[in-house]
Structure 1
Amino acid sequence: MQGTVLDFSIQANQGFISADNGKRYEFTGSDWNLATAPEAGNRVDFDTDGSKAFAIYADPTSSQKIKATKSRVTAGILAILLGNVGVHYFYLGAWGWGLICILFCWTYIPAIVALVFGVHYLVISDEVFQVKLKKKPEPLDILW
């Protein structure tokens, strides 16, 4: 059966799916079989036992993809080329670290750290990178 995730609460570890037949089904986090966390609007394929959904997977007929908010390749290249002044931090929303890089750019420490971060951004997968970005970085969060 196919449907759309209506809501999911991480605290309660419960959510609801609206099936294409018009019925709503409850599910728990342990029923979720996708690499990304459940979000409202996700198209899914699932089985039911009457009122509960289980064995939840991505809907294979859906053209829905994970929306990329920022590019890991762009972040990696910015870190390698302009990391000494923290441009990659500004790009990713961690502007507090960007300011610290500007203050200490004369020490070359930000450039060395940015080189490591740049290589890291380039070798991790897009899914892992997007999951880290979904945590809404604060100004002084390190996006490792």
Structure 2
Amino acid sequence: MRGQVLGVDQRSGDGLVAGEDGQRYRFTPADWAQRGEPAIGVTVDFETAGDHALNVFPLPVPGGDRHVLAPPPPRVVASDRNKFVAALLAFFLGTLGVHRFYLGRTGSAVTMLVLTFTVVGMLVSGPWALIDALRYLFMSEREFAVRYARPA
């Protein structure tokens, strides 16, 4: 049967394999039939005896002699917010913190709004909004989506 190593106890060397049948099987260092130590994510071939994996062999990865699976592709993050809209809001209504409300940053949005009602605060929130506008424009789409994604 084929499967994948889910975990290995570093102290004892005991491990757990997820079989292609959906079951989990335990193995000990004596069951590992290859020189070296098992690693999480390794694809293996093994025999079963109840809930125990016997003769656990790592399978080679195509294109090399490594036994570890390739890392999964990066997760694509989608955002329902637009960085250009946020930048325009920051540029035109930034001192009121509207762009921060738009992005779900209500704490800093309220702070900017309160600061706007004082002369000294206006001197702080004006450059703050301009910097935010420029930051949004120069930020990559992926970074923007990750940073300002709404909680599910």
- Aligned partners of 2:150, 2:44: CA distance in 1, in Å? 34
Which consecutive unaligned segments of at least 5 residues does structure 2 have? 1-19, 24-40, 46-66
In structure 1, give the amino acid aligned to 2:43: D
- Rg (Cα) greater in structure: 2
Structure 1 pair 133–75 and aligned structure 2 pair: CA distance change class (3 A): same
Tell me: CA distance 1:56–1:100, structure 2 relative to 1, closer, same or farther (3 Å).
Answer: same
2:132 — aligned with what?
A: 117
**1:129 matches 2:144:** yes
Q: How many aligned residue pairs are there?
A: 92
Residue number in structure 1 paired with 2:112: 101
**Paired residues of 2:77 and 2:146 also in contact (CA < 8 A):** no
Q: Distance in 2 between matches of 1:54 and 1:69?
A: 33
User: Which residue, out of 84, 96, 100, partners 2:95?
Assistant: 84
- What is the identity percentage for the equivalent residue pairs of Structure 1 and Structure 2? 23
1:73 maps to a residue whose letter is: F
Assess if the C-alpha contact under 8 Å between 2:78 and 2:149 holds in 1. no
Distance, in Å, in 1 between the alignment partners of 2:98 and 2:22 is 48
Write the distance in 1 (CA, Å) between the matches of 2:83 and 2:97.
15
User: How big is the shift at 1:87?
Assistant: 0.2
Mapped to 1, the partners of 2:21 and 2:114 lie a distance apart of 57
2:146, 2:112 → 1: CA distance? Answer: 25
Q: Distance in 1 between matches of 2:148 and 2:84?
A: 14
Task: Give the SS at the match of 1:69.
Answer: coil
Q: Normalised by the size of structure 2, how large is the TM-score?
A: 0.48
Task: Provide the residue aligned with 2:43 in structure 1.
Answer: 49
Kept in 1: contact 2:79–2:148 (CA 8 A): no
Residues of 2 paired with 1:126 and 1:66: CA distance? Answer: 10
1:23/1:124 Cα in 2 relative to 1: closer, same or farther (>3 Å)? farther
Computed over aligned residues only, the root mean square deviation of the Cα atoms, in angstroms, reads: 3.5
- Map 1:22-41 to 2 at 5 A: none
What are structure 1's unaligned runs of at least 5 residues? 1-20, 25-46, 137-144
